[in-house]
Amino acid sequence: MSLSSDAIVKQEIIDSLGTSYRNVQLRIFRQSSNQDQLPFSKGGLTFGYAHIYYGSCDAAWFIDAKWTDGYDGTAINEKPLIALEGTDALNRGSSGNAQTQRFHHVLGAVKDGIIGVYYLRKGSAKIRSDLFGMAYFASKVEKGKYLIIDDLVVVKNILNVYDSPAKCLKYINDYMEYMYSIFQEYFQRMYEGSWQNFADARSTIIKKDYVIKYAARSRRNFTDGSQRAGHIAVGEMYLTRYYFYGKKFYYLFLRMSDEDLEYLDEHKSDDKEWRILRHEPDVEIKTVDDIIGLTPSIKDALMTIKNEPIIGGPARSIYNKCVDKIMDGLKSGTLQIKH
């Protein structure tokens, strides 16, 4: 039987760094276990902040020192230094948004001031260049630093200098600049260095004080477990949220109404991804009901296809026609988003 992605990553961590390194201890659960889903303050590998949990990690390195959990203020005598989420996705054909779906797993640690590491083992696919940008800009916003790596030597180098704050900070800042250089090369190549070009290509509208990203999300996307819309929506949300940090972000779900939003708030209140979407600072989910000036016929047309696949066929045609009219209106100002 082939090993799972998590098992491969965990074994590689142990083989490369052992179960302790200098006086830093490693917390990792090698066997299939739900232990990692417990909060770090209760012996697990899940980090949260301000009463929101962001996902379980694969490993964390910690020292014996006082630490206060940013999720609920729990004080313990184990201080985490690095939290790591790993995947073998690059060897499993994941070149698209599957890479961003795990982005939030270490974000709770980063928000809590810990070094967060998203480790993608080298493989036949390449790390998405925009992932480096997401991590770089997240590090500008949050208390901790977020690193994207494909080699565990980066973790080893941090552990070697963690007790020398100046050396540790320099190493991390140098690595951050390396990540930024990868993003900048990609941004220049793909969008000619223009945020407007980026917005046009990524279903985004840039305004002075806010941005709008529109998507074809429907209520069914979040209630049908086979669609994994929550993970995808969270990944796309963080890409926009951090690229345009400092602006309000309206995430516009065009195939949802306010009634759908209320339904999901009631029935998905314990869903991790939905809670993240609803509580991320400076992010608001908007529906077709939040578009001021929209003609009833366009809303009615979108509602007729709210549960239809829109990969192709008549539903896609209806959606595209509605989107064109809505985007023209939002760009020109004849339509407005309810603030």
Q: Which residue has the tokens 């995430």?
A: 251
List Cβ neighbours of 323 (8 Å cut-off, separation of 6 or more): 214, 254
- Write down the pLDDT at residue 228: 67
Judgement on whether residues 166 and 223 belong to the same structural domain of the protein:
no
Among 123, 124, 118, 117, residue whose Cα is nearest residue 101: 118
> Which of residues 133, 162, 187 is at a domain's end?
187
List, in sequence order, every beta strand (DSSP E) within the chain.
20-21, 24-28, 46-49, 52-56, 59-68, 75-87, 115-120, 146-149, 204-206, 210-215, 248-253, 283-287, 291-292, 336-337
Tell me the pTM. 0.94
Judgement on whether residues 274 and 224 belong to the same structural domain of the protein:
yes
Contact 51, 97 (CB under 8 A): no
Judgement on whether residues 232 and 143 belong to the same structural domain of the protein:
no
Judgement on whether residues 12 and 153 belong to the same structural domain of the protein:
yes
Judgement on whether residues 177 and 31 belong to the same structural domain of the protein:
yes
- Across the chain, which has 339 residues, the per-10-residue mean pLDDT values are 78 93 93 87 97 95 97 97 94 78 94 97 93 98 98 97 97 98 98 97 96 95 77 93 98 97 95 95 98 97 93 92 97 96
- Write down the pLDDT at residue 54: 94
Q: What is the pLDDT of residues 70-129, one digit of tens each?
A: 999 999 999 999 999 999 989 887 667 778 888 999 999 999 999 999 999 999 899 999
Judgement on whether residues 82 and 177 belong to the same structural domain of the protein:
yes
- Write down the pLDDT at residue 2: 60
Judgement on whether residues 231 and 327 belong to the same structural domain of the protein:
yes
Residue 251's domain comprises 195-337
Judgement on whether residues 77 and 133 belong to the same structural domain of the protein:
yes
Judgement on whether residues 136 and 226 belong to the same structural domain of the protein:
no
User: What single letter denotes the amino acid at residue 206?
Assistant: I
Judgement on whether residues 79 and 146 belong to the same structural domain of the protein:
yes
DSSP 102-168: GGGGGHHHHHTTPEEEEEE---SS---HHHHHHHHHHHHHSSS-EEEES-THHHHHHHHHTTSHHHH
Judgement on whether residues 174 and 209 belong to the same structural domain of the protein:
no
Q: What is the pLDDT of residues 5-32, one digit of tens each?
A: 788 999 999 999 999 998 999 999 987 6
Judgement on whether residues 217 and 274 belong to the same structural domain of the protein:
yes
- Counting the structural domains of the chain, the total is 2
- Write down the pLDDT at residue 1: 46
Helix (H, G, I), strand (E, B) or coil at 310: coil
> Which of residues 138, 164, 187 is at a domain's end?
187
Contact 34, 118 (CB under 8 A): no
> Which of residues 142, 165, 187 is at a domain's end?
187
Q: How far apart are CA 106 and CA 89, in angstroms?
A: 16
